Amino acid sequence: MAKFENIPDVKLGIIAVSRDCFVISLSEKRRAAIVKAFAGKGELYEAKTTVENEKDMLKAVEEVKKAGCNALVVFLGNFGPETPETQIAQNFDGPCMFVAAAEETQNDLINGRGDAYCGMLNCSYNLSLRKIPAIIPEYPVGTAEDIVKMIEEFIPVARTIIGLKNLKIITFGPRPQDFFACNAPIKGLYDIGVEIQENSELDLLVEYRKHKDDKRIDEVVKDMAAELGTEGNQFPDMLPRMAQFELTLLDWIEANKGSKKYVVLADKCWPAFPKEFGFEPCYVNSRLASRGIPVACEVDIFGALSEYIGTCVTGAPVTLLDINNSVPQDMYDQSIKGKFKYPYTLQDTFMAFHCGNTPFCCLSPKSKPAVKFQLIQNRLLENGGKPDFTRGTLEGDIKDGDITFFRLQTTPDTKLQAYIAQGEILPVATRSFGGIGVFAIPEMGRFYRHVLISKHYPHHGAVAFGHVGKALYTIFQYLNIADIAYNQPKGTLYKDENPFA
């Protein structure tokens, strides 16, 4: 996993609980087995205080806090005390996962039986009574080895929850005209603990001009040139302008974090931006995303939020793309039909695109990625002539492999909703421009109609490189999002789907 300064490090602790009518050593022995099984997989602090009552609870929580833990595993080694075990999550300032011990052997079902299978039911009921958010795995009962797997799946979820709690989104400018689909009420951000700071494009322009003779520009230019290589660096004269902008954004982040630890950006990249700044910001945006600082195009606040969630889950760069255009029939017939493990139909495929914000490391070397110019903006702003200030996009086909397409969004009446769809980018040449790929998602046609259109989602979607739907679904549940949509399998109808179609 890449090391990003803009996402949290998870320091896990584990607290065992024990019902006072059970032998406490049973929970302690089982807790120790989990710690031993987790050895070598990461850091897991073992709280020595086993919780039987409320005083134990306070002591155990204080113990893990002093150890620097920011996420907890609450382990029911036996039935567990319903009130104190849920109070752990109530008193601990961080995400908690509740798991329970399975019985080990048929030869020890008298003194060695813990009944945690039963205790988990009462635990979940008490969490609900107290309105305490908690992570409970799909099947939360297991052996030490089973629980280690649950812990490994919990880590990216915990990292995201911690990150969101400490996140600020900084924007520059209003949404462009005719792109109001990306304009959503910001109340949903406050509902999940995210802060927002909205700024003018003029504020950014003033700061950019202040960085004109910044002594760090040469160093950034060298780094850009090294990343792009000879073939990718088609406009070397542009690099100083873009390096100046990169330094401006990074300095702005440091000066404006305020009370938060992590920052993502959403900027207005057109139509005024390129002429006034002298370039398109896409390549710089891609470089920040590669460092764990997503920058959403077209001031897409919830796009930036979604990208950050994907970054925390994967620990790797993500991108934001338009759900852009259909795949032509001849491309499908020649390059897709019958050539992949899943029998994709034409309607399962589409092309996702943006001008050039996808990180260099996420582009296919075969497509020879390079800094180019924005064709559409060049036609609009430079009359289709020799490109000058419309240069600055990073273009190439996006690398093939598994992806998760998703978005967290608020409705006009401020209710949060989300969608998740797993699929892949196909190794098919796009024959087009921008940062673009040929995507395939099972039953995409129905998902497009009955989720994206029916639920009024905008054209932007976040792309995580890998299948991470399970973690995303858990996170959205934890955030208390009632409507989490996904691509329904064939034969399972959406609520508004015509059964006679």
Domain boundaries, the chain: 12-159, 167-486
pLDDT exceeds cutoff 60 at 276: yes
Pick the CATH number of 12-159 from 2.102.10.10, 3.90.700.10, 3.40.50.10940, 3.40.190.290: 3.40.50.10940
> How large a percentage of the chain has pLDDT more than 90?
91
Whether residue 181 has pLDDT greater than 70: no
User: Above pLDDT 70, what percent of the chain?
Assistant: 99
CB 244 within 8 A of CB 214: yes
User: Residue 3's pLDDT band (boundaries 50, 70, 90)?
Assistant: low
Give the separation between CA 389 and CA 378, rounded to whole angstroms: 8
> What is the reported pLDDT for 380?
87
Please, which pLDDT band fits residue 111 given cuts at 50, 70 and 90?
confident
Give the sheet arrangement for strand 44-46, strand by strand.
Answer: 44-46, 12-17, 71-76, 96-101, 141-142
Confidence at residue 2, expressed as pLDDT on a 0 to 100 scale: 45
- pLDDT tens digits for range 464-495: 999 999 999 999 999 999 999 999 999 999 99
C-alpha torsion 383→387→389→394, nearest 10: 120
Lowest mean pLDDT among 5-14, 105-114, 346-355: 105-114
Secondary structure class of 107 (helix, strand, coil): coil
Per-residue pLDDT band for 268 (boundaries 50, 70, 90) equals confident
Token readout for 242 is 């873009």
The model's pLDDT over 139-166, given as tens digits with 9 standing for 90+, comes to 999 999 999 999 999 999 999 999 999 9
CA distance 322 to 459: 5
Contact at 8 Å (CB) between 424 and 440?
yes
pTM comes to: 0.95
Q: What is the mean pLDDT of the chain?
A: 95
State residue 139's pLDDT score.
Answer: 98
Q: How confident is the model at residue 501 (pLDDT cuts 50, 70, 90)?
A: confident
The CB-side HSE value for 56 (13 A sphere, CA atoms) comes to 20
- What would you report as the CA-atom Rg of the chain, rounded to the nearest whole angstrom? 25
Mean pLDDT of the 273-294 span = 95
Q: Under a CB-based contact definition with an 8 Å cutoff, are residues 266 and 293 in contact?
A: no
**pLDDT reported for residue 182:** 73
Please identify which residue in the block is written with the tokens 């009359």: 383
Report pLDDT digits (tens) over 19-35: 988 999 999 999 999 99
Q: Are 163 and 262 in contact (CB under 8 A)?
A: yes
DSSP state of 366: G
- CA-closest candidate to residue 154, choices 51, 37, 12, 50: 12
Q: Of 58-62, 75-79, 171-175, 472-476, where does mean pLDDT reach its minimum?
A: 171-175
Three-state secondary structure of 384-435 = CCCCCCCEEEEEEEECCEEEEEEEEEECCCCCEEEEEEEEEEECCCCCCCCE
Q: Report the candidate in 486, 321, 468, 479 with the shortest Cα–Cα distance to residue 410.
A: 479
Region of poorest pLDDT, from 182-186, 250-254, 408-412, 435-439: 182-186
Question: Could you give the C-alpha distances from 228 to 234, 252, 363, 449, 488, in angstroms and in order?
Answer: 9, 25, 12, 39, 40
What pLDDT score was predicted for residue 180? 67
| Cα distances (angstroms) measured from residue 395 to each of 215, 234, 426 | 29, 11, 17
- Which residues make Cβ contacts (< 8 Å) with residue 85, sequence separation at least 6? 17, 51, 57, 74, 76, 98, 123, 126
Q: Which amino acid is at 60?
A: A
**DSSP string over 321-335:** EEEEEPPPHHHHHHH
Mean pLDDT of 245-259: 97
Quick one: CA dihedral 449, 455, 458, 461, positive or negative?
Answer: negative
Bridge partners for 116 per DSSP: none
Cα four-point dihedral sign 335, 361, 151, 194: negative
273, 303, 274: which is closest to 289 by C-alpha?
303
- Cβ–Cβ under 8 Å, residues 168 and 260: yes
Average pLDDT over residues 360-364: 97
Note the pLDDT tens digit of each residue in 226-247. Answer: 999 999 999 999 999 999 999 9
Strand, helix or coil for residue 220: helix
From the list 244, 78, 70, the residue with the least C-alpha distance to 162 is 70
Would you place residue 1 in the very low, low, confident or very high pLDDT band (cuts 50, 70, 90)? very low
- Model pLDDT, residue 352: 98
Question: What local confidence, expressed as pLDDT, does residue 483 receive?
Answer: 97
